[in-house]
Amino acid sequence: MANEPLIRPIEAAPDWTVPQDWDAYTPQDHAMWDRLFERQASMLPGRAVSEFTDGLDVLRMTRKGIPDFAELSDRLMKLTGWQVVAVPGLVPDRVFFEHLANRRFVAARFIRSPEQLDYLQEPDVFHDVFGHVPLLAHPVFADYMQAYGEGGLKADGLGAIEYLARLYWYTVEFGLIRQGDALKLYGAGIVSSHGESLFALDDASPNRLGFDLKRVMRTRYRIDDYQQSYFVIDSFDDLLNHTTQMDFTPLYRELESLTDLDVDTVLPEDKVLNRGTQAYVRAKML
Ligand code: HBI
Ligand code: FE
């Protein structure tokens, strides 16, 4: 999350966009995309929500190489009215929300180096495009992302960005969804990570709790390792209803009077699907 001041590079437009400059990618860049893509595409069917894998197909993302944002935008525009625009890296919160509210998804254009195969601090084009873009082809999720951007612009004026950032974190980035009796992945931070795609579904360590808007907005998150709690939605319709049928202003006021919750807290009133052992973090602390 962008808390430190960011400086707009001189080559970026006032809205922070830059040309993707697709022709500048090297064969090594494309090979890195293909390597990451193949590793995820072979394990995600059955683990990721079907809307995610459908998105890869309808957007023709199954073809080799780093996607051309202009071509992706053409396809997305016809399906849900979204575009993908390139930015140099993290952008200020307001700029980010402004783009989302206008159905533009901002994506990094650089790709990680081989040393960063499994972990990198800043989102790269694989995280941003493979992780986030497929669900933008789904009409309900597409509307949720726009509503999030609009909510962000309002939250900014109310000093409540942190609460809204938590909602983004525990849904768009690290969300799980229930389909029938099974849990599936939909968060971009999970589906773009090989390790977390296994951990989030299969490991006994993390809590898996039913989604509750106020509960999520109270909960801190960690940016340096796998999550210690995941929140499970029942459907994308449900998620959209939470954000569009509610005025968050009274909720923010209430949240200010409540304590923040730690990453591993389980409350008596939580809908606990799995109570985590937290063995993964404990082992790391030894
Ligand atoms: N910028 N490029 C980029 N990508 C993000 O996901 C992003 C950002 N700036 C701010 C931001 N996310 C978050 O702080 C908001 O969700 C609150
Ligand atoms: Fe992301």
pLDDT tens digits along 61-103: 999 999 999 999 999 999 999 999 999 999 999 999 999 999 9
Q: Is there a domain that residue 116 lies in?
A: yes
Q: Which two structure tokens, joined as six digits, stand for 279?
A: 């063995």
Q: How far apart are CA 272 and CA 254, in angstroms?
A: 24
Q: Which atom from ligand 1 is nearest to the alpha carbon of 107?
A: 2
Give 173 Cα–ligand 2 centroid separation in angstroms: 6
Residues whose beta carbons lie less than 5 angstroms from ion ligand 2 = 188
Residue 17 placed within a domain: no
CATH code at position 178: 1.10.800.10
Judged against a pLDDT cut of 50, whether residue 2 lies above it is answered with no
Atom of ligand 1 nearest to the CA of 3: 14
Q: Number of helices and strands (H, E) in the chain?
A: 13, 7
- What is the Cα–Cα distance from 142 to 137, expressed in whole angstroms? 7
Tell me which residue has its CA closest to atom 13 in ligand 1. 1
State how many domains the chain has: 1
Q: Is 196 annotated as a binding residue?
A: no
For the cut 60, the answer to whether the pLDDT of residue 232 exceeds it is yes
Is the separation of the CB atoms in 236 and 140 below 8 Å?
A: yes
**228 is a domain residue:** yes
Q: Which residue's alpha carbon is at the smallest distance from atom 12 of ligand 1?
A: 1
Q: Is 273 in the pocket of ligand 1 (CB under 6 A)?
A: no
For range 169-193, the mean pLDDT: 97
Give domain status of residue 89, yes or no.
Answer: yes
pLDDT over 70 for what percent of the chain?
99
Residue 58: its H or E element: helix 50-58
Q: Is residue 91 part of a domain?
A: yes
Give pLDDT tens digits for 37-60.
999 999 999 999 999 999 999 999
Does the Cβ of 96 fall within 6 Å of ligand 1?
yes
ipTM for the complex?
0.95
Note whether residue 14 is domain-resident: no
248 to 38, 159, 243: CA distances (angstroms): 41, 12, 8
| pLDDT number for residue 3 | 55
Domain assignment present for residue 15? The answer is no
Catalytic residues: 127, 132, 173, 192
Alpha carbons 154 and 249: distance in angstroms, whole number: 9
Instruction: Give me the domain span that covers residue 239.
Output: 22-285
